[in-house]
Structure 1
Amino acid sequence: MSVMKFWADMEQDEYDPEEFVERLAFRARSGSNSADLGEAQNLHTSFLQAIKELKIMHEKQEAKCKELEDKSREEERAHWTRVAALIHRNKAAAATYKSLDEKINSVAGKVVYLGDQLESVNTPRARAVEALRLIKHFDEFLDGETSVSPVFMDKSRLYEAADIIQKLNLIGQELPEKEFSHARRSIDAKYNEIEKALIEEFIKHHRSDDKVKMAELAVILSHFRGYNECVNAFIEQIQLTSLRGKDPFKDIVPLCRQSWDTISQVFPSPSNVMAKFVLNIYYVKLKEYITDKLQDKNDTEKYLKNLYFLYSQTIKLNSDLSNYNLGSDHLFLSRLTKDIFSRYLETYINIESRYLNDRARTVLQKYYENQGHQRKQMSGGVGTVQELKREMHGLIAARTNFNLAEILDYGGKTFLSDDIAIMIIQEAREAFRRCQVLSKPSELSSNAMEIFNILVSYLLHYHVDYAVELGLAGIPLPETKVPPETYFFDIIRQTNTIIFLVDKLFSDSLVPLVVSTSKHADCLQTKKNEWEKLESKLDTGLDRSIATIAGWIKTILTTEQKKTDYNPQGGEAIAVASGACLKVVKWIAELTKKIRDSLDGRNLEWVLQELGIRLHRTVYEHLMQFQFASAGAMTLICDMQEYRKCVSDWKVGTVTALFETLHAMCNLLILPPENLRGAAMGDQLANMDKGILDNWLQLRVDYKTARLANCL
């Protein structure tokens, strides 16, 4: 095997010695019979030959490596020699550079010294020349006549003339009035003439939008008394072609952006000019526009909307313009806004309160007129003379079967309107929004509470509380002889809706205005008091309504239930529910639907529980008046199944348990005597008083004959 073949095997990317040996063995075996006994000898010979060749390769590689190492050392020595020479040259160059730097500094110092010397000589000379020039010009004005110097006659030399007359004016002001009065007057006349010419030139270049010339003139005029006239002329020229739209708020920001580009390029003190420009816009254009919009206070709603819109737009405008440099006064725009709106903001809350009062009163009066209702003077709520009077009428009706009470249900009208409530709440929401923007920070919480009190007065007192009082008065007595109308549940539903809307308004609009102030606690207390007052009246109405429902159920059972239903005479009774029971269940099912539409959550659960308890009591007291035969007891059990089915949909555990117990008691009326004790000890009756069960068993017609007294 050649050495080159070994090189090809060992120079692979992933060289593996074991794989190399395997490949060597494979090559040695190739061509020979695998069964030949000399194969091992061939392998041995091949390996010896390969080892010998590899040793030769190793020796050659070592010799070659040594040769390369010697060569590398020679090159390294040569490189180090070269680096040392370069370092020496670098040190020499650094020393030369330092020497040159010292010489340059020395020359520069001498040049500066010579420059100072030349300047000290030239400056007095230049000043003397300038003084001589001014003296010659001043001499021309001494006789009181206007100078006829070419510099003042040539319009092309206006800038030079301006410089001379400005300095002459300063000199004239320092001279005695008596001796140089004629000269001073002549200089003043020429000063005014040149100043006017400069301003006219400035306006001309402004019209042609030549900012370079405008900047030159502005710098010159900045030393003149009429500089402000130049600024005013600039502002007037801009306003001649701007702010012609109906709404200046849309035009002011683009105009200021465009004008700032010109002002910053033209005037030497752009911030002062920009401040004056904005001041002119606010006090001339903006104030005139605002005054025109707010001059009519007859339409209060329009006035308040305009005031809110204009003030909001002005605040937004202030924010947009605050990006510009308007001088050192950071409250500049705020002061302008305050000056414009101060007389409107001082009377804002009075106008807002008057409008909200008038609006709420008008809306409610119109509503009652559309309902054809004349508001009544209510004498009060729960616990008053009306309450006592109602109880007396109920007592008389129960004992004499004669109803003296005059119950008005107004044909189902609740005198509550979600639309009216939403309308008033929306007005209050807008009032809160205006109050947040237009009120002073120190008056914001008190103004917000004033608006809330108006809302409470009209919506809760004048509207909701009045409707609840009418509803309470319209609830029929429990002794009613006709099916009672449960309109009070509609009142509860609408009242809950309105309270929810008011509570949302309270959280969203009022609380952010009064939080972290003393008024916050006052508002919470007011809301709590109003909620508790309404809740108390609604609870009273619910209690009266449930009492009326229980009374009507009792009336149905009393008038519709026959004694033969439970104690049939002659023949077997059919095991079906009685007519009285079916009528009660049907009426309760319709009533339950209405209750579910009016209440939800814990309130619904509480009402259904109370209704179920009173239904159970009424049915139980009704059954205690009958005697039950075995056949009649089957009818009773069918009745009880209907009652259970009716209340099972309520999913109220207490009520379900009561009727389950009553059903178990009904089973006692059909069981044979020997099974009564076991039934009485069952899960549903085990905890019941034995006296109650004994009284119940006495309702069986066979109580005495079957000797049931001791069966329990």
Structure 2
Amino acid sequence: MDPFDGEEFIERLAWRATNGKFDDEQFDPRILHEAFENGINDLKSIYDTNQKKCERLEMICREEEKKHWIKVAELQQKCKDSLTSFEKLDKRLDNVADKVVYLGEQLEGVNTPRTRAVEAQRLMQEFARYLNEYDEDDLMNPFGDEFEEDIGKLFDDADIIQKLYLISQELPNGNKFDHAKELISKRYDSIEKQLIEEFSSAHKNDDRVRMRRISAILSHFKGYSQCVDVFIEQSQMGIFLGENIFNEIISLCVKNDKTIKEVFINPEQVMSKFVLNIFHGKIQEYISTRLDENRTEEFLVELYNMFSKTNRLIDHLSKLKFLGCDHNFLNKISRNIFSRYLDMYITNETAFLKDKCSAILSNYYESKNHQKRVAPSGTIQELIQSKIRNNITGMGNLSNSMSSSGNHNEQPGETFLSEEIAISILQETKISLQRCSLLSKPSEMATNALTLYEIELQHLCIEHIDYAIELGLQAIPPADPKTRPEIFFFDTVRQCNEICHLIEKQFTNSVLPLISPTTKYAECLKKKRDVMSQMESKLNSGLEKSVASIIGWIKCILQLEQKKSDFKPDSDDTIPTSTTACLNVVKFINYNRSSIVASLDGKNEEAVLLDLGVKIQRTIFDHFQQFQFNLVGGMVVICDVKEYRNCIDKFKSPLLNDLFNILHGLCNLLIVAPENLRQVSTGDQLKKPYLVAASKIQPKEYIIKAYECGQRHFGENYIQELQQKAIEPEIIAKCPDIQWHLIGHLQSNKINKLLSSPNLKVIESIDSIKLAEALNSAIGRNENIIGKINVFVQVNTSNEEAKSGINPEQTSELVRFIIDKCDRLNFVGLMTIGAYGYDVSLGPNPDYVRLLQVRDSVCHQLNLPKLQVDLSMGMSCDYEHAIKLGSTVVRVGTAIFGERKYNKN
């Protein structure tokens, strides 16, 4: 039923009273009033009727509730009465039980001596029969064939003869008891044999009650173990007939475990013997038939499979928690079974792996019609040292042997490297390591794994990869080639890289878990590192030779094909276009760049392309310096440089782009009118780096002398020393335009002292937002400073904890803060120190290259012109190198002032 809605009721009532007519002419309020009165009366009538019904129902409920409580009270009383009766009955039962126990104890006290007396009398009577010289046949079989009809008599006789046998063992020898003892012993053996036969028969009929009774009797006999043996033998009869016995053992053990618990009084010992019999009997026999030691590979595979299946069986049996069959017990049994095979395992494994790897390599070189030189033997260290000693003499011999041993069928560009061969050797090693992890003793596992890994390093890294690298090194054209060089060494590098990735992955997945928690870990890492370092060194040498060969051919093209008339044509009507030499050089560069990109990746690709690009730029620059130019020739040079720039753009290196932009700017000077030369040469594209003289610990006389020679920028590492020199009256008087740079670390508590120094021009060591904010606030409070102070952001490109500087990834955030939030600081560039002692002969300094990349990132994110962001990098040892890479500020001290003389006090 829907709930009553008063508003809806009034609406319906009004509608019926007016027939839906509410216009002013026909509306009669009296009709509506009368209808409302009638409706209210009807509601009151309905309310009164429902009220009476509610009162009647409430009265009925109260009566029902009263009856219910009366019934509940009656039930509670009955429950109390029942509890009282139960307590009385319980007490009576306790009394009766106490009396019964008391009577039982009294009866037992009377009956036990009587029973013992009866048993003793019976034993004496039976012993008297054996003591008297009766017929031996009657004594041995007093019941005739009654045993077959009543097995109970056999059990009784067994009980008696067992006790007589124990008594007879206590009698002295050499008197009248000897004959009786002999008869009792024979009778004992006869009954024991009959009981075992009865047990066997009961087992065949699965009569467990009878088996249990017989086993309980036999447990007091010497032949109880024979009873257990009969049970084990019959339980396993006809079971292990299949190909794989491991599948049948679990169900057999589960089935017989239940029987053993029901039948034997010592189920734990019986179950242990049952399992021991399976392992030392059936499993050992099965294993010996499957393992053929004359076939090494099949032997190792089958040994691994058998041992794995046995271990899985042990785990399954351990989980079933059979009595007397814990995991340690089963493991010990398993090790005993396999001990003969496991002792010789690692010898077989290493011999097999060596033969397998040698066969893989031999088949590969035979398929290539290549006669490989004999690989040296020995440890990894000895091999590396041997290779270093023989690098010079051995290469000549190898070259001669290659030319005279049928290798003339080899295809040009053959690297003699194969990922398939590497995968095969790695797979064989992986399988051997899997067997090693299972079959080695825990104490020998790491040593065995290291031995197997050394075999992999020997055959894959030294006999295959290192050998191929040596062949590749010999195939690299010389640095002054007479014909166009074909460089296949990049393919060698690519394949080496791919194979080394596979080696590293396998080392992590298969070798490391076996050696990481042991002392062999460091030894293994050292051997791996030695081999990899040797190959890496040769690859680096090969890449350097390859780049040198490319540069050599570029020089050859330029020398042979570039004519003096190209840059100084006789006619001014010549249309400036790129020269033939330039086009051939660009074509050659593009070809080799494609080879490098296809063969290298990541940082290796960047490093090689950068090294090649820098040397190309230097070669072209040196080449241009050999010529004289007229106006048309200058335009031809610009066309050539444009071609070179378009070619170098594909290298995707900001540094190389900058270098060729500078070269382009220099070439533009060739077509500039003399009166405009100074203006053009000072443009952004040819921005000239300036020198900061690092005057740390140098006397004022040196500073004044350098100033007189034209030096204006001086840098100090320490604030106290900078302030002392800045306020020195003689320096102020003789060096009025001196500009001081703080190039050392700035501490927040020394900012005010620094700002009190006159002629402070630049602070090059801002490395945090906190420091920038503190410096900006201090400048705002200092009334003597007008305008802004130039600052560099110091970047820690070498990631050395001992060095100051912000993380390269956070540089943009700091620069943005300085530009947006620090109104008294003027951001002018980036500064880095870099790692000390870098050998520039190895290529571009990675710390300086990193600063170039940081500048590109900052300019891109903050939309800053790149040429307006200075780079402060380079010191006495490498400032020329830094300028070549794009440095606009170099900090030089020793090269100007000489070695610093520190005060020893």
TM bin, normalised by shorter chain, reads 0.7 to 0.9
Matching residue's letter, 2:8: E
Distance 1:646 1:472, change over 3 A: same
CA distance in 2, matches of 1:379, 1:207: 75
RMSD: 3.6
Residue 593 (str. 1) matches residue 594 (str. 2): yes
Higher-helix-fraction structure: 1
Matching residue's letter, 2:618: R
- Which SS does the other structure have where 1:628 is aligned? coil
Corresponding residue of 2:192:
195
Q: What are the within-5 Å matches in structure 2 for residues 92-241 of structure 1? A: 92-144=81-133, 145=136, 146-147=138-139, 149-150=142-143, 153-175=146-168, 176-177=171-172, 178-241=175-238
Distance 1:174 1:479, change over 3 A: same
Asked whether the 8 Å contact 1:169–1:184 carries over to 2, the reply is no
Q: Which moved more, 1:98-107 or 1:488-497?
A: 98-107
Matching residue's letter, 1:418: E
Corresponding residue of 2:270:
273
Distance 1:324 1:183, change over 3 A: farther
Asked whether the 8 Å contact 2:268–2:323 carries over to 1, the reply is yes
User: How many Å apart are 1:581 and its aligned residue?
Assistant: 1.7
Corresponding residue of 2:653:
652
Q: What are the within-5 Å matches in structure 2 for residues 622-633 of structure 1? A: 622-633=623-634
Q: What are the within-5 Å matches in structure 2 for residues 56-455 of structure 1? A: 80=69, 83-144=72-133, 145=136, 146-147=138-139, 149-150=142-143, 153-175=146-168, 176-177=171-172, 178-294=175-291, 296=293, 298-322=294-318, 323-327=320-324, 330-361=327-358, 363-364=360-361, 367=364, 370-374=369-373, 386=392, 411-455=412-456
Asked whether the 8 Å contact 2:272–2:325 carries over to 1, the reply is no
CA distance in 1, matches of 2:216, 2:297: 52
Residue 662 (str. 1) matches residue 658 (str. 2): no
Distance 1:87 1:450, change over 3 A: closer
CA distance in 1, matches of 2:484, 2:22: 120
Distance 1:22 1:562, change over 3 A: same
Higher-strand-fraction structure: 2
Asked whether the 8 Å contact 1:32–1:39 carries over to 2, the reply is no
Corresponding residue of 2:573:
572
Q: What are the within-5 Å matches in structure 2 for residues 391-540 of structure 1? A: 411-540=412-541
Matching residue's letter, 1:173: L
CA distance in 2, matches of 1:627, 1:155: 133
The Cα offsets for residues 548-598 of structure 1, whole Å up to 9 and x where unpaired, read as 110110001111122222222347334432222222222222212221222
Distance 1:67 1:467, change over 3 A: closer
CA distance in 2, matches of 1:248, 1:50: 97
User: How many Å apart are 1:610 and its aligned residue?
Assistant: 0.9
Distance 1:352 1:138, change over 3 A: same
Distance 1:52 1:209, change over 3 A: closer
Matching residue's letter, 1:47: F
User: How many Å apart are 1:605 and its aligned residue?
Assistant: 0.8
CA distance in 2, matches of 1:442, 1:217: 49
Corresponding residue of 1:395:
none
CA distance in 2, matches of 1:435, 1:17: 91
Distance 1:218 1:585, change over 3 A: same
Corresponding residue of 2:35:
46
The Cα offsets for residues 56-86 of structure 1, whole Å up to 9 and x where unpaired, read as 5555665665566566556655555555555
User: How many Å apart are 1:666 and its aligned residue?
Assistant: 3.1
User: How many Å apart are 1:305 and its aligned residue?
Assistant: 2.8
Asked whether the 8 Å contact 2:158–2:217 carries over to 1, the reply is no
CA distance in 1, matches of 2:423, 2:355: 16
Distance 1:53 1:432, change over 3 A: closer
Corresponding residue of 2:858:
none
- Which SS does the other structure have where 2:684 is aligned? coil
CA distance in 1, matches of 2:361, 2:637: 54
The Cα offsets for residues 506-546 of structure 1, whole Å up to 9 and x where unpaired, read as 10111101122222233233333333332222222211211
User: How many Å apart are 1:132 and its aligned residue?
Assistant: 4.7
- Which SS does the other structure have where 1:372 is aligned? coil
- Which SS does the other structure have where 2:443 is aligned? coil
CA distance in 2, matches of 1:645, 1:491: 29
Distance 1:78 1:256, change over 3 A: closer
Give the unaligned 5+ runs of structure 1: 1-11, 391-408, 690-712
- Which SS does the other structure have where 2:686 is aligned? coil
Corresponding residue of 1:708:
none
TM-score, with length taken from structure 2: 0.66
Larger Rg: 1
CA distance in 2, matches of 1:32, 1:662: 102
- Which SS does the other structure have where 1:150 is aligned? coil
- Which SS does the other structure have where 1:308 is aligned? helix
CA distance in 2, matches of 1:64, 1:280: 90
Asked whether the 8 Å contact 1:166–1:223 carries over to 2, the reply is no
Distance 1:250 1:95, change over 3 A: closer
- Which SS does the other structure have where 1:573 is aligned? coil
CA distance in 1, matches of 2:599, 2:122: 103
CA distance in 2, matches of 1:589, 1:499: 28
Corresponding residue of 2:684:
683
Asked whether the 8 Å contact 1:379–1:386 carries over to 2, the reply is no
Corresponding residue of 2:855:
none
Distance 1:677 1:376, change over 3 A: farther
CA distance in 2, matches of 1:498, 1:586: 31
CA distance in 1, matches of 2:21, 2:416: 119
Moved over 6 A (4+): 376-385
* Identity between Structure 1 and Structure 2 (%): 42
Corresponding residue of 1:698:
none
Corresponding residue of 1:607:
608
CA distance in 2, matches of 1:630, 1:311: 87
Asked whether the 8 Å contact 1:644–1:656 carries over to 2, the reply is yes
Matching residue's letter, 1:463: H
The Cα offsets for residues 16-35 of structure 1, whole Å up to 9 and x where unpaired, read as 23333333333333498854
User: How many Å apart are 1:606 and its aligned residue?
Assistant: 0.8
Residue 548 (str. 1) matches residue 549 (str. 2): yes
CA distance in 1, matches of 2:56, 2:420: 108
Residue 24 (str. 1) matches residue 13 (str. 2): yes
CA distance in 2, matches of 1:350, 1:253: 34
Matching residue's letter, 1:659: F
CA distance in 1, matches of 2:203, 2:158: 24
Corresponding residue of 2:4:
15
The Cα offsets for residues 123-154 of structure 1, whole Å up to 9 and x where unpaired, read as 55555555555444444333352435337744
CA distance in 2, matches of 1:88, 1:463: 101
Asked whether the 8 Å contact 1:166–1:191 carries over to 2, the reply is no
